């Protein structure tokens, strides 16, 4: 409770209740009386809820409006009550609030305002001291419900606070550049982060167009404007790419542009740029590490396959020798199982070797002269012999196909072979048709389309997507029935791509089965010539040769054949001549150097059926001589003879137009096989595949 | 698989003609310097195994060819004409290989490589000076090897002088 006021309470009270003494004159009395009434009325009927306390804090006036807001029914009871008693009856103000107002009035001698909250409403108490002769004679207390005003104030404060916080927030972000662009794309404002990593000062950039942050290339492509348009159309535009700093260096950025609208009108764009250089660096590092690991893996696979292949060849060679010895039926069966498994294993290893070379990017295709027709025929013949009963093997070869074109015959054949093998693997009855069409021909190239159509089990739709991905077999449960690595089609795909073509499949429109197809680009060759005998090589690389050729057969074939032997060493000439005669060749001409060989080959009429060509000869070596002979349009088989049987050289001779090659010292039987196959091929393109001696086990130290 | 076939043929060759080969291979020094299978093939070409007219003519031609080649090698060694020396090496390599005279053939191959300023295997580069030095010793060695195998061959053809 407040202490009694140090005021002269009597005089203070009288000043209100008895404002004017009767002795002060009649006119004044009349006036004073009217005035009293007026004052009383003002206090009683003011719409501002009010009560008046005298110096002793007793209520002297109460307005009806106050009674109404504070819930007082009997106004008269209040008059003369102490302010503390008022608090017991009225809902507002609380005693403590009243005393706060009174004390403030006493301390400051001026009006004060205090608020209090009662039942979710905010009440404001305004206390005005009334002072006469330096002492407070009464207190004017006004009570108002200010809930609404208060609420507004709070909201305003909150808004101001939020704005301020946002400003601080945006300004303190250093890792993200935030811009405001006007509708044209000029920078209206930006934050410290933008300044930090773009390198401009504020004055250098405000008002400039934001396209300055883009690379020249992006600007040339109209990317900045496009991004604004996209942002407008889609509500936002996000992009990752290179952006420029003031110093011209670039950084990898993520940029989000969002249009900013107010009441439907476009104010401009917000542009948020994050520097992802570090992440990009980490990504690149990760990718590089992955690629390196992948390359190492492929290299490892390639090396391993190669290392495995060599002893495999040895094993299979030894096995062939073993099969030639006297084996009892049980042994023979076991040996055949070993042989079959060995061949499958070798096939798998070859696949892996191809795959890993393709995957590591170290694979290149060669540029031989090839005949698509011959390749198809050869694959056809090979499969014709072994095709299952109940399957007809058909071929349909476009007569327009080029006789000779530049391409990788071995790999081309590998693709055809793979597709046909797949077809026969999955077809139990019906047909397998190989179809070759020339799709396109111009001055520089041909495009050929090869289709392998079967009536097999077909490809389930679900498997079609992953058919050409590595290690995929559409039916894993069928692995036992359909052996293979699942690499074949993936290898084919890569090979086809290297040949500038496509590969794909579709269901066989004639019912069950599939159509596997691929296209390849083959370069035109200048002097188109028939090099059917190239086939010879292809056959030999892919297939085991059949057992020892009949020497008698060669004898019969050789009789009327004209052979040119080009060899500069007299001793070798003599031996070769003897061998050739021994093999049944009666017409053998001799050239002692390359020049002579060319002259004789071109002059001979009728032309030679076969040329045996030493590689190292004076004046014109065997390779050059072959080039000239081919250049003149002769397609006679030319067999290279050399003691330089380095790995890979055989292939290079063949690539240079030779038909085959045999290592020196020439082995009579190998030569016989080779010549027999050459002559047979020349005669008819018949199915027999001869042996080329570059697949021989090198003798002694002549490897 | 083609390898397998040829390996088989090789073996067949050897087993077919073992009885002939025995003769020359029994001569001292033959084992090291002659490749039996290759020389066998030359012998097979003889119409008459007593006369051995064909193989003998070839072998004696080789004697002549070797002597004249060595003479050319000597003069080109003096002229320091490495290129010609390489060609001569290659030339004699061809015929010695045909006859299966493996030691001479190996030396000739080295001569061919040294002449191209390569090491004996033809893999690494060597200096001209080094090449000449090596050529000198290798030609000398080739001659010795030739004379050694010449003795064996003359003995085989019953022509010991």
Q: Which tens digits make up the pLDDT trace of A190-220?
A: 777 777 777 787 788 888 888 888 888 888 8
**Measured between alpha carbons, how far is A600 from A566 in angstroms, rounded to an integer?**
10
In chain B, residues with a C-beta closer than 8 Å to the C-beta of A537 are: none
B22-56 pLDDT tens trace: 577 878 778 888 988 889 888 888 888 888 888 88
pLDDT score recorded for residue A5: 44
| Statement: residue A624 has pLDDT above 90 | no
- The structural domains of chain A, ordered by start, are 9-151 (3.30.450.20), 173-275 (3.30.450.20), 281-358 (1.10.287.130), 368-524 (3.30.565.10), 549-695 (3.40.50.2300)
Query: For the residues A648-671, what does the mean pLDDT come to?
Result: 77
- Pick from B8, B93, B95: CB nearest A320: B8
Query: Are the Cβ atoms of A699 and B99 closer than 8 angstroms?
Result: no
Asked if the interface predicted TM-score (ipTM) of this complex is over 0.90, the answer is no
CATH number of B2-156: 1.20.120.160
Tell me whether residue A335 is exposed, middle or buried, using C-beta atoms within 10 angstroms of its C-beta: 0 to 12, 13 to 18, 19 or more: middle
Cβ A592 vs Cβ A571: under 8 Å = no
**Measured between alpha carbons, how far is A272 from A162 in angstroms, rounded to an integer?**
21
- Pick from B1, B90, B95: CB nearest A571: B95
Candidates A700, A691, A624, A629; CA nearest to A662 is A691
Share of chain A above pLDDT 70, in %: 83
Query: Are the Cβ atoms of B94 and A669 closer than 8 angstroms?
Result: no
**Measured between alpha carbons, how far is A110 from A130 in angstroms, rounded to an integer?**
9
pLDDT score recorded for residue A648: 58
Query: In this structure, what are the phi and psi dihedrals at residue A215, rounded to the nearest 5 degrees?
Result: -75, 160
Reduced to 3 states (helix: H, G, I; strand: E, B; else coil), residue A203 is helix
Query: Are the Cβ atoms of B98 and A667 closer than 8 angstroms?
Result: no
Distance from chain centroid for Cα A568: 61
Cβ A636 vs Cβ A654: under 8 Å = no
**Alpha helices (H) along A453-592:** 488-498, 534-542, 551-558, 570-582
Reduced to 3 states (helix: H, G, I; strand: E, B; else coil), residue A59 is strand
Query: Are the Cβ atoms of B7 and A313 closer than 8 angstroms?
Result: no
pLDDT score recorded for residue B150: 92
pLDDT score recorded for residue A475: 52
Cβ A637 vs Cβ A610: under 8 Å = yes
Share of chain A above pLDDT 90, in %: 11
**Measured between alpha carbons, how far is A517 from A420 in angstroms, rounded to an integer?**
11
Query: Are the Cβ atoms of B58 and A575 closer than 8 angstroms?
Result: yes
| Statement: residue A26 has pLDDT above 60 | no
What is the overall mean pLDDT for chain A?
Answer: 79
| Statement: residue A689 has pLDDT above 80 | no
**Range of weakest confidence among A21-30, A334-343, A576-585, B112-121:** A21-30
Query: Are the Cβ atoms of A697 and B100 closer than 8 angstroms?
Result: no
- pLDDT range class, residue A436, cuts 50, 70, 90: very high
Query: Are the Cβ atoms of B45 and A579 closer than 8 angstroms?
Result: yes
A362-386 pLDDT tens trace: 777 777 778 888 888 888 887 887 7
pLDDT score recorded for residue B160: 60
A132-187 pLDDT tens trace: 888 899 999 999 888 898 889 888 888 888 888 887 877 777 778 888 888 888 88
A509-568 pLDDT tens trace: 888 889 999 999 998 875 433 344 443 444 444 333 433 445 556 666 676 788 999 998
Cβ B117 vs Cβ B82: under 8 Å = yes
pLDDT score recorded for residue A474: 53
- pLDDT range class, residue A657, cuts 50, 70, 90: confident
Q: Does residue A409 or residue A486 have the better pLDDT?
A: A409
In chain B, residues with a C-beta closer than 8 Å to the C-beta of A540 are: 2
In chain A, residues with a C-beta closer than 8 Å to the C-beta of B110 are: none
**Measured between alpha carbons, how far is A143 from B108 in angstroms, rounded to an integer?**
128
| Statement: residue A588 has pLDDT above 80 | yes
pLDDT score recorded for residue A13: 42
User: Measured between CB atoms, does B45 come within 8 Å of chain A?
Assistant: yes
**Measured between alpha carbons, how far is A654 from A649 in angstroms, rounded to an integer?**
9
Chain B residue closest in CA terms to A574? B58
User: Measured between CB atoms, does B70 come within 8 Å of chain A?
Assistant: no
Mean pLDDT comparison of A9-23, A621-635, B123-137, highest-scoring range: B123-137
Mean pLDDT comparison of A6-10, A442-446, A619-623, B74-78, highest-scoring range: B74-78
């Amino acid at each position: 409770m407040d202490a009694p006021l140090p005021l002269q309470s009597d005089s203070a009270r009288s000043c209100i209740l008895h404002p004017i003494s009767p002795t002060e004159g009649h006119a004044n009395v009349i006036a004073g009386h009217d005035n009293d009434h007026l004052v009383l009325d003002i206090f009683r009927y003011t719409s501002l809820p009010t009560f008046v306390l005298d110096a002793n804090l007793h209520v002297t006036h109460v307005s009806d409006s106050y009674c109404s807001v504070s819930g007082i029914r009997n106004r008269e009871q209040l008059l003369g009550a102490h302010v503390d008693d008022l608090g017991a009856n009225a809902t507002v103000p609380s005693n403590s609030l009243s005393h706060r107002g009174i004390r403030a009035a006493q301390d400051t001698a001026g009006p004060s305002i205090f608020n209090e909250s009662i039942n979710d409403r905010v009440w404001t108490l305004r206390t005005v001291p009334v002072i006469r002769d330096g002492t407070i004679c009464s207190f004017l207390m006004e009570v108002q419900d200010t809930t609404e005003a208060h609420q507004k104030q709070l909201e305003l404060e909150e808004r101001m606070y939020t704005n301020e916080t946002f400003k601080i927030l945006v300004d303190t972000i250093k890792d993200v550049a935030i811009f405001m662009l006007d509708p044209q794309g000029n920078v209206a404002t930006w934050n410290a982060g933008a300044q930090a990593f773009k390198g401009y000062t504020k004055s250098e950039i405000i008002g400039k167009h934001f396209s300055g942050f883009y690379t020249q290339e992006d600007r040339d492509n109209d990317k900045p404007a496009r991004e604004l348009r996209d942002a407008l159309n889609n509500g936002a535009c996000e992009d990752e790419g290179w952006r420029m700093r003031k110093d011209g260096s670039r950084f990898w950025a993520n940029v989000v542009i969002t249009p900013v609208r107010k009441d439907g009108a476009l104010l401009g764009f917000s542009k948020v740029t994050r520097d992802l250089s570090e992440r990009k660096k980490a990504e690149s590092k990760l990718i590089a590490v992955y690629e390196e690991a992948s390359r190492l893996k492929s290299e490892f696979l390639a090396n391993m396959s190669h290392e495995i292949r060599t002893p495999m060849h040895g094993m299979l060679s030894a096995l062939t020798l073993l099969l030639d010895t006297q084996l009892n039926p049980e042994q023979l069966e076991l040996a055949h199982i070993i042989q079959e498994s060995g061949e499958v294993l070798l096939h798998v290893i070859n696949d892996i070797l191809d795959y890993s070379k393709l995957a590591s990017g170290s694979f290149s295709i060669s540029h031989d002269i090839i005949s698509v027709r011959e390749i198809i025929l050869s694959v056809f013949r090979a499969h014709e012999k072994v095709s299952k009963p109940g399957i007809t093997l058909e071929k349909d070869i476009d007569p327009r196909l080029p006789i000779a074109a530049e391409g990788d015959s071995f790999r081309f054949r590998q693709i055809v072979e793979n597709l046909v093998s797949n077809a026969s693997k999955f077809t139990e009855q019906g047909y397998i048709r190989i179809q070759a069409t020339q799709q396109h021909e111009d001055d520089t190239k041909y495009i050929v389309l090869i289709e392998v159509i079967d009536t097999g089990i077909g490809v389930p739709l679900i498997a079609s997507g992953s058919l050409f991905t590595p290690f995929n077999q559409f039916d894993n449960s069928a692995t036992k029935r359909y052996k293979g690595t699942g690499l074949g089609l993936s290898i084919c795909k890569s090979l086809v791509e290297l040949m500038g073509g496509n590969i794909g499949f579709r269901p066989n429109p004639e019912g069950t089965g599939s159509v596997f197809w691929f296209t390849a680009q083959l370069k035109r060759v200048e002097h188109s010539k028939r090099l059917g005998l190239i086939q010879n090589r292809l056959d030999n690389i892919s297939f085991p040769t059949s057992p020892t050729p009949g020497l008698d057969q060669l004898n019969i074939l050789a009789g009327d054949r004209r052979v040119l032997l080009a060899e500069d060493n007299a001793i070798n000439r003599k031996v070769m001549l003897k061998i050739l005669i021994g093999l049944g060749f009666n017409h053998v001409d001799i050239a002692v150097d390359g020049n002579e060989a060319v002259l004789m080959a071109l002059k001979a009429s009728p032309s030679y059926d076969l040329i045996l060509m030493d590689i190292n000869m004076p004046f014109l070596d065997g390779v050059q001589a072959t080039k000239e002979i081919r250049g003149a349009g002769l397609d006679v088989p030319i067999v290279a003879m050399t003691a330089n049987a380095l790995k890979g050289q055989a292939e290079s001779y063949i690539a240079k137009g030779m038909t085959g090659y045999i290592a020196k010292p020439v082995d009579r039987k190998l030569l016989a096989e080779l010549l027999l196959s050459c002559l047979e091929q020349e005669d008819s393109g018949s199915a027999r595949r001869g042996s080329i001696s570059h697949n021989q086990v090198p003798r002694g130290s002549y490897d | 698989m083609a390898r397998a076939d040829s390996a088989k043929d090789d073996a067949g060759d050897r087993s077919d003609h073992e009885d002939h080969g025995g003769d020359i291979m029994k001569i001292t020094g033959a084992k090291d310097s002659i490749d039996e299978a290759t020389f066998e093939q030359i012998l097979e070409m003889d119409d008459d195994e007593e006369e051995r007219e064909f193989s003998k003519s070839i072998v004696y031609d080789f004697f002549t060819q070797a002597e004249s080649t060595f003479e050319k090698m000597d003069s080109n060694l003096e002229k320091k004409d490495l290129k010609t020396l390489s060609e001569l090496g290659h030339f004699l390599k061809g015929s010695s290989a045909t006859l299966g005279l493996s030691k001479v053939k190996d030396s000739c191959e080295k001569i061919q490589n040294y002449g191209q300023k390569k090491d004996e295997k033809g893999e690494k580069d060597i200096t001209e000076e080094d090449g000449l030095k090596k050529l000198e010793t290798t030609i000398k060695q080739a001659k010795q090897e030739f004379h050694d195998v010449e003795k064996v061959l003359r003995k085989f053809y019953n022509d010991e002088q």
